[in-house]
A and B are shown apart, each in its own frame.
Chain A
């Protein structure tokens, strides 16, 4: 117990030099937790929103459907197989029909995706109830991004032109029944939603769909030929990759800060060993082994991280808590990037994150503190007492 006590006393005795190192290291603590928390929060926010609004509990895709290849859309539809239809009838799934179309807002040509969804569906948190057809006109639902790009308002009429199953052009007026505000661009950008049955009838695609969204927590998933089930793991793979990339990018910032702190600690250790040779010699004379002296100096260095943790907690916890409540307002236009970010990002600080960060800094500081002390292993007590290094 004497070594830790001695180490702490020596460290505090070093005064300003110690506190300078501690402050820089504490910044690393706070920055790592803050940035990583931000990315965890961002990932969770995107995933939750996409599951809630778009992915549900996974999707069955028609075998030709590929959202990244618009050329496949023409053929990516087919009759919904009975096992999936049973799920739809039970309210455990909802079909979506997708087709390429063109709109002409104010005489401008704009290529869009026309999507049909059941107005009565409750599988995903999507305001499809606005698509109930009342007066013979075709109601359409669009998102705020689409409304902005096409210059459309509620009540506006716009001509939509598409090709039906036989390849024949059809064009109808649709009226904008509602403009939804969603953080999920995948159901908004360049898309118009109309009632599923109307779309099926106009397209000549009775009982057909391009994909079927399953309700959350559906365990029994039928295997049907011609339709491929895409799990949430598959659907969210892009988000996971995005977060991983962001984390890597963000780690460069705090690694740089950590490197500075470690450099300072390393320097301090080297200086301590150089300046405190007589002290080491006295310790040896009093019966301290070289190992104990190495322990003492290493511990002195490692205690930087403990003090940094305490300092970081003093100013970091209020800051991180405040930030978690207030969130980070995203700049305008950021949601046009195609990511479901929302207006604000709320960081999530998990116990694993905090523990992991503490352990990372503690281990790195200990290693950095230990490295210069290896010289002590070769130290002769007589040389040390004379102030020389062997």
Chain B
């Protein structure tokens, strides 16, 4: 009897040891990634440096996000863009331009246009969906990025209205933050890349605070994004996500 108990205990220990060495599943990693960065509400201040053919320019903005469908952005600098506001409700986007004192509705293909000449489209800018809900994930490899060991996940769309059919993301094994991302077309052609350059600890989460987005099909150095501050689960008044707030 003792022998049997010993044998069972040995098998259990062995199984546990083997299990411990196996990487978590892609789905689990993705859940952790979403949990790390996801939040019901967010308020952030960021600087976007657009590197164009004629030089670079920096745009500073403050954003309020609620859930995955509502966001409000106000541009703070430069003077030319100051006061420009964007409101996204569902799949609709309104832009208020102070120079003309007019609100323009943007929808359909316009959502795919570049934001102020950057490498990001309005859609990219507004994207805040949980990856695990829209992608199947598989661990493809392990690599080191920014001197951090990462899992390389291959994400494939679950179907539906998803902009990028597949993605490859490099997730910090310990911090569950995405340090690099390649976004692909249905044909497998690489469309956009994202690279985190700096990661900081904010409200017990690991957040990329300096990153570079690049539209690979377009020439140029890409668009640099610096997150100056971010507040998760912030208290955002209801009136922020109304069209009336665009003109305030």
Contacts and interface: CB of A to CB of B under 8 A. Distances in A.
Contacts of B191: 161, 169, 171
A65 to B, nearest CB: 13
Contacts of B187: 170-172
A74 interface: yes
A172 to B, nearest CB: 5
Interface stretch (A53-61, A99-107, A208-216, A328-336): A99-107
Contacts of A100: 109
B186 interface: yes
Nearest to A159: B217
Interface string B30-47: 000000000000000000
Nearest to A164: B186
B186 to A, nearest CB: 4
Contact of A71 (B108, B114, B159): B108
B215 to A, nearest CB: 8
A73 B191 CA distance: 23
B220 interface: yes
Interface stretch (B3-11, B72-80, B161-169): B161-169
Nearest to B112: A163
A170 B218 contact: no
B186 A107 contact: no
Contacts of B157: 168
Contacts, number: 68
Contacts of A171: 185, 187, 189, 191, 217
Contacts of A111: 113
A109 interface: yes
Interface string A152-185: 0000000101011011111110000000000000
Interface in B182-213: 185-187, 189, 191
Contact of B109 (A70, A108, A168, A170): A70
B217 A169 contact: no
Contact of A166 (B107, B108, B159): B159
A106 B161 CA distance: 30
Given A74-B109, A104-B218, A163-B112, A169 B160 contact: no
A70 B108 CA distance: 9
A108 B219 contact: yes
A25 B134 CA distance: 79
Contact of B189 (A74, A106, A159): A159
Contacts of A70: 108-109
Contacts of B186: 164, 168-170
Given A74-B109, A108-B218, A161-B191, A166 B185 contact: no
Interface string B104-129: 00011110111000000000000000
A133 B81 CA distance: 48
A169 B220 contact: no
A268 B159 CA distance: 87
A106 B220 CA distance: 11
Contacts of A159: 189, 217
Given A71-B107, A168-B162, A168-B164, A161 B185 contact: yes
Give the one of B161, B165, B186, B187 with max A CB within 10 A.
B186
Contact of A74 (B108, B113, B159, B160): B108
A99 to B, nearest CB: 9
A169 B163 CA distance: 6
Contact of A109 (B114, B165, B189): B114
A70 B187 CA distance: 25
A109 B185 contact: no
B161 A166 contact: yes
Contacts of A172: 187, 189
A172 B191 CA distance: 11
Interface in B69-98: none
Interface string B133-159: 000000000000000000000000101
B233 to A, nearest CB: 30
Interface in A79-138: 100, 102, 104, 106-109, 111
A73 B185 CA distance: 21
A112 to B, nearest CB: 11
A164 B164 CA distance: 11
Give the one of B107, B112, B218 with max A CB within 10 A.
B112
A106 B160 contact: no
Contacts of B107: 71
Given A170-B185, A171-B185, A109 B218 contact: yes
B185 A107 contact: no
Nearest to A165: B161
Given A171-B187, A171-B191, A166 B219 contact: no
A20 B107 CA distance: 66
Give the one of A72, A100, A102, A164 with max B CB within 10 A.
A102
A168 B219 contact: no
B111 to A, nearest CB: 10
Nearest to B166: A168
Interface of A: 70-74, 100, 102, 104, 106-109, 111, 159, 161, 163-164, 166-172
Interface of B: 107-110, 112-114, 157, 159-165, 185-187, 189, 191, 215, 217-220
Given A108-B219, A163-B163, A166-B161, 11 more contacts: A74-B109, A100-B109, A104-B218, A161-B217, A163-B109, A166-B159, A169-B185, A169-B191, A170-B185, A171-B185, A172-B187
28 contacts: A70-B109, A71-B107, A71-B108, A71-B110, A73-B108, A74-B109, A104-B218, A107-B217, A107-B218, A108-B218, A109-B215, A109-B218, A111-B113, A159-B217, A161-B185, A161-B191, A163-B163, A167-B163, A168-B157, A168-B161, A168-B162, A168-B164, A168-B165, A170-B165, A171-B187, A171-B189, A171-B191, A171-B217
Task: Identify the 5 closest CB pairs spanning chains A and B, nearest first.
Answer: A107-B219, A167-B161, A171-B185, A170-B186, A104-B217
